Chains A and B, each alone.
Chain A
Amino acid sequence: MDFITTLINGLSIGGIYAMIALGYTMVYGIAKMLNFAHGDIIMVGGYTIYVFLNMTGHPAIAIITAIIFCLILGVTIEKVAYKPLRGASPLAVLITAIGVSYLLQSLAQIIFGSAPKMVTIFNFGTKNIGGLRIQISTIVTLIATIIVMIALSLFVKFTKMGRAMIATSEDKDATQLMGINVNGVITVTFAIGSSLAAIAGLFYLMKSPSLTNTLGSMPGIKAFTAAVIGGIGSIPGAMLGGFLLGIVECISYSIPVIAPYTDAIEFLILIVILLVRPTGILGKKRREKV
């Protein structure tokens, strides 16, 4: 019984990781860069929710504003910071992304100070389901992440833009030969990734209501780990990696002897998987073209 609760918690936190991991993996697949500032979008989403919740008192307004704000922020960061570096060395891009990350964190600290803010968006409480005591927010998170992921998968598979995203991630030149503006596809990718990060911020605050300017750091790193475990660049891989990492995390937390080493265990799994399968679980080795 306890194990089932642990599993549900794991799936729920895993869903959040998966949602963030999708942002990393899609941007990596399509723009071929590691967007290290992605985790901080979660934090920006958190503060946006905080501000608009206090201003309006309406959770829905706060959430929608946060999603839109993060979407615009993500697209702007891409245009201002990353686009001029297209074709530059990967190291230059990576350093820029780290710079953007620090910039966002510092700005948040300047604006909101360093004391944590308490944000209670919904008060769902807990419920007994079949003898299990489960937080409703956990279930809500799990269901919502699954819906988002199904929607995203359908979008990628069945829309023109989705196909253009797959094409761009595979072969930019051939995609342009179809008359497709690759920069536009990259913009859409950042928009989607950043919106997902905002939603992840919401779920994070539902789990633990304390908001600081480094809120996004740890989940960012965990989700990045999840993306790499699943196979960076692969959308199903990010989902799988996220859930896997979440479950491992919750199981590890539930065993007192190893609980303090949970983070280490997660990163150890990353190392082991990379040793066995350098491309991650669902990552493909690009077939060399003749």
Chain B
Amino acid sequence: MALLEVKDLEVYYGVIRALKGISFEVNEGEIVTLIGANGAGKTTTMQSVVGLIPARAGHIIYDGKDITKLPCHKIVHLGMTQVPEGRHVFQELTVYENLLMGAYMRKDGDIKKDIKGIYERFHRLEERKNQIAGTLSGGEQQMLAMGRAMMCKPKLLMLDEPSMGLSPLLVDEVFDIIKAFNKEGTTVLLVEQNAGKSLAISDRAYVLENGRIALSGTGEELMQSEEVKKAYLGG
């Protein structure tokens, strides 16, 4: 059974129909990527799944439960969270406090230990643990946003364009980290413009065009597809 199943999802902004009935699924343990041009509806999909934008029609099923109408914070409690587009770290809090916010709903005693784990993965964050997050560089903010999301211990981690605005070296690092998270058991739903790199690490992928799913397949299949090559892989 799919961990996340989206069925005929429609989302409107006023009268604008941003998602015109899309369906896709993410199975436990997979990395699934949505690729698509600017304005295709990727962010809308992500925000709608996590309950930040209401669905007009369709269903979102998570772990066998219909979460279409649930408010965001309750969905997060079921075990999914998102690194939103543009990172959205808490600018006025320190790096350490941001990580604590990630663990807000946890009641286990491993929080300190897990923060150490995050620091081990992101050395830059440890060096800057008392720095106000608003003063971090874009790359550091991305690391923090990912670390903060991991502090929620999600079963399903959604990332919306994590490589946006990063240097090539850092982009590689971000994809490595996503792969590592996945190896450790986190299911990943990824939105990317960087189609080449994301398809390479994906089990399956969907191409979103104008609020519709235009193509789907394994990462490999899509990388070989002429349409994808032409539109998203630059040749």
- B152 at the A interface (CB under 8 A): yes
Given contacts A163-B97, A290-B138, A178 and B104 within 8 Å (CB-CB): yes
- A163's contact among B71, B84, B86, B101, by CB below 8 Å, is which? B101
Q: Is B21 an interface residue (CB 8 A)?
A: no
Q: How many chain A residues touch the partner (CB < 8 A)?
A: 20
Q: Answer yes or no: B37 CB below 8 A from chain A CBs.
A: no
Known contacts A173-B52, A289-B86, A178 near B92 by CB under 8 Å? no
Within 8 A of B (CB), among A224-254: none
Partner of A179, one of B86, B89, B134, B152: B152
Contact with A along B120-139 (1 / 0, CB 8 A): 00000000000000100010
For the complex, give the distance between the alpha carbons of A173 and B84 in Å. Answer: 9
1/0 contact string of B146-172 vs chain A (CB within 8 Å): 001100100000000000010000000
| Total CB contacts across the A-B interface at under 8 A | 73
Evaluate whether A178 and B165 lie within 8 angstroms (CB atoms) in the complex, with A173-B88, A287-B91, A289-B86 already known.
no
B93 touching A181, Cβ below 8 Å: no
Contact B97 A178 (CB under 8 A): no
- With A160-B104, A163-B100, A170-B90: A176-B52 Cβ-Cβ less than 8 Å: yes
CB distance from A172 to the nearest CB of B (A): 9
In the complex, the answer to whether A170 meets B105 with C-beta atoms within 8 Å is no
Contact, CB under 8 Å: A290 / B76: no
Task: Please report A residues at the B interface, Cβ cutoff 8 Å.
Answer: 160, 163-164, 166-167, 170-171, 173-182, 287, 289-290
User: Closest 3 interchain pairs by CB?
Assistant: A179-B105, A179-B76, A176-B72
Given A175-B101, A178-B102, 5 further pairs, Cβ under 8 A? A177-B82, A178-B81, A178-B104, A289-B86, A290-B86
